Amino acid sequence: MTQKFTSFETFYPYYLEAHENPICRRLHLLGVIVALGAILYSILTQTWWTLAIAPGFGYPCAWLSHAIFGKNVPATFGHPFYSFKGGILMYRDMLTGKVPF
């Protein structure tokens, strides 16, 4: 990834473009839901070691969705913090109808 961004505001349109495939977006959302479920399980059962594997549920869904459906490289490889924030905003925008589900 060679593209540089000076602010999140310039990054977010790029992030949305990388997620224009609806199946890619849905698999991202599924990964987040499963990862949050793993975190909730860790808290409820107090098996704290399972917190370490929670990202292992979410990221494969996202990465595979880019490889198979998005046909692009995940933005998280070059911009991990912007991508995390972009994901949260994209999920919000999906729930509010700004971004198609």
Could you count the other beta carbons within 10 Å of the beta carbon of residue 71? 10
Q: Judge whether 6 lies within some domain.
A: no
- What average pLDDT does range 17-21 have in this prediction? 94
Where in the sequence is the domain holding 44, given as residue range(s)?
27-96
pLDDT tens-digit series, residues 33-43:
888 898 999 99
Mean pLDDT across the stretch 72-90?
A: 90
Q: Looking at the 3D structure of the chain, how many domains does it have?
A: 1
Radius of gyration for the chain, computed over Cα atoms and rounded to the nearest angstrom? 14
Give the integer Cα–Cα distance in Å for 34 and 71: 23
Q: Is residue 92 part of a domain?
A: yes
pTM exceeds 0.85, yes or no: no
